[in-house]
Amino acid sequence: MNPINTETYNRTRTFIGYTPTKGKHSTSMEFVQFNEPVILSQKFLILGEIAEEMANIYKASKNGDLMELSYSYNTLAEEIKSISSLVKEQLFEYDWQILESSAVLADYHDPGNGGGGGNFLTCIICIAGCELAVLGGCIIACLVFIPFCPVCVLVVDLWELFDLGCGYVCEWIGAC
Look at residues 37, 74, 35, 68 and name the one whose alpha carbon lies nearest to residue 52.
74
Strand, coil or helix: what is 30?
Answer: strand
3-state SS string over 44-62? HHHHHHHHHHHHHHHHCCC
Give the C-alpha separation, 72 to 74, whole Å: 5
Helix (H, G, I), strand (E, B) or coil at 31: strand
The answer to whether the CB of 79 falls within 8 A of the CB of 133 is no
- How many Å is the Cα radius of gyration of the chain? 18
* Tens digits of residue pLDDT in 43-97: 999 999 999 999 999 999 888 878 888 888 998 999 999 999 999 999 999 999 9
Q: What is the pLDDT of residues 120-141, one digit of tens each?
A: 788 788 878 888 888 888 888 8
Would you call 162 helix, strand, or coil by DSSP? Answer: helix
Is 48:80 a contact under the CB 8 Å cutoff? yes
CA–CA distance, 44 with 42 (Å, rounded to integer): 5
